Amino acid sequence: MDNMFDDIGRDQVSSMVQKALHGSDDGELFFETTPSESFLFDDGRLKNANFDISSGFGSRLVSGDITGYANSTILNKQSIKSSLDAIQTARNGKDIFISERKHPVKESSTDIKKSLYSESNPLNSISFDEKIKLVKNIDEFLRSYDNRVQQVSVSLSGNFQSIMIFNKEGEIVTDERPLVRLNISVIVNNGKRQESGSYGTGGRWDYTRLNSKDFYQNAAKKALSQALTNLDSIDTPAGEMTVILASGWPGVLLHEAVGHGLEGDFNRKGTSAFSNMMGQKVADEQVTVIDNGTIPDRRGSLNIDDEGTSTQETVLIENGILKGYLQDNMNARLMNEQPTGNGRRESFMHQPMPRMTNTYMTNGKYEPDEIIKSVKKGLYMVNFGGGQVDITSGKFVFSCTEGYEIENGKICSPIKGATLIGDGPKALNKIKMVGNDSSLDDGIGTCGKAGQSVPVGVGQPTLRIDEITVGGTS
């Protein structure tokens, strides 16, 4: 990564950061530049094509649990000095001697270990005209494939985040992160009713994969299949019942209802449903949950987190026992634990906090068909839309966008209007069967916390949960 400051070199920036942070508990200067673009093809025409470059830095000093933070889009020596002066208010009035002595600059980069993704800018992988042709081809394919298609909306986006982190030890750590995403929504009408379906995919790769005819036509068929299924849907029965969750994307429920409750900050403050439960049984013994930021090319993966710590595989729950929390540097220090590489931020304008990467439940012993056959009457939920979760209690509400009735061990009529209601800790203990088909989602997860959004991955095998409340339409 080239030097990106106007009138100051890396060594000088590193020296200034070391001096400003000397005697503090933690902190860094986080520099970022991110070119991004997006395209929206809707109602048979290109409605939007946007390009933007975001550049700036954030300076942070941590003293105890007090943080000073300043950010700027002006990339020069005076701006850096002003930000470093400002954050020293975090010392909370303590008179800490600042020595002129500094550590030698130590260059560190992602080539120390094998990079988890390409370091090439995905925005340059195909031409502008090819991007427009891609979204147009998807629209034309769907309209010609089935005459019940009434409306198609296709969005394509990509960015290339380059970061440089200067820490108090004199290290300079860099990473370059590609990310692309394709979303397809379709509305169908059979003359009697109208329904919709959607599908999304993406990851830390470039547009070349999306631009393959087989790939984008397969993605389009998945969106159409959901919409056509919903044309035949019936009202959802309400009440307490057995529910089977499909593998992959339904892991978003695990992410929201359980994963957030295992982030270090909530547990340090005692506001999580899992606080003070380390080493205790919190789930059925079949349940093992992992957060893994090291899976190649995945949307939630990172070579390093946004504090410069290498990502890793962290076991959160093992055979039903709570084994670990997700930690950034500050919360790990205050809880006398080790950082897990989960310090993440949306951009240079935000402070890092403990966040998930790719969070999933591992395989159990049952075949998916075996799980379905075990249910006399219940629901099979394949896709979820939005949801709400209360971290303190673990209570959640999720809407199902594709689901089916189960009768006598067979998948029957599709349903509409289903919501899943419960709380994370109780749901973990109501899991009765765990499948052997664990998989991650197709690369669309975005996690929100404290006003910040970051890309994540979710996943799970097929699960049977008994005695869970379903909100229905009948």
Q: Is the pLDDT of residue 97 over 50?
A: no
- Which residue's structure tokens are 């100051």? 8
- The pLDDT value given to residue 474: 67
Q: How far apart are CA 291 and CA 262, in angstroms?
A: 10
- CATH fold for domain 122-162+176-233: PmbA/TldD fold (3.30.2290)
Q: What is the DSSP string of 434-449?
A: EBS--EE-SS--EEEE
pLDDT of residue 103: 44
CA distances (Å), origin 65, targets 85, 88, 90, 92: 19, 14, 9, 11
State the pTM of this model: 0.93
Confidence tier at 459 by pLDDT (50, 70, 90): very high
5-14, 22-31, 452-461: least confident range: 5-14
Average pLDDT over residues 9-27: 94
Cβ count within 10 A of residue 238: 16
Ordered by start, the domain boundaries in the chain are 10-112, 122-162+176-233, 239-471
DSSP-derived 3-state class of residue 14: helix
**E strand spans, 190-271:** 194-203, 234-235, 239-245
Fold of 10-112: PmbA/TldD fold (3.30.2290)
pLDDT, tens only, 397-444: 999 999 999 999 999 999 999 999 998 889 999 999 999 999 999 999
Asked which of 258-267, 326-335, 343-352, 378-387 is least confident by mean pLDDT, the reply is 378-387
Q: What is the pLDDT of residue 390?
A: 86
Asked if the domains at 10-112 and 122-162+176-233 fall in one CATH topology, the answer is yes
* pLDDT at residue 105, rounded to an integer: 45
* pLDDT (mean) for 436-454: 96
Pairing state between β 26-42 and 239-245: unpaired
Question: What is the model's pLDDT at position 232?
Answer: 95
pLDDT tens figures, 194-241: 999 999 999 999 999 999 999 999 999 999 999 999 999 999 999 999
Question: Average of pLDDT values for 159-178?
Answer: 97
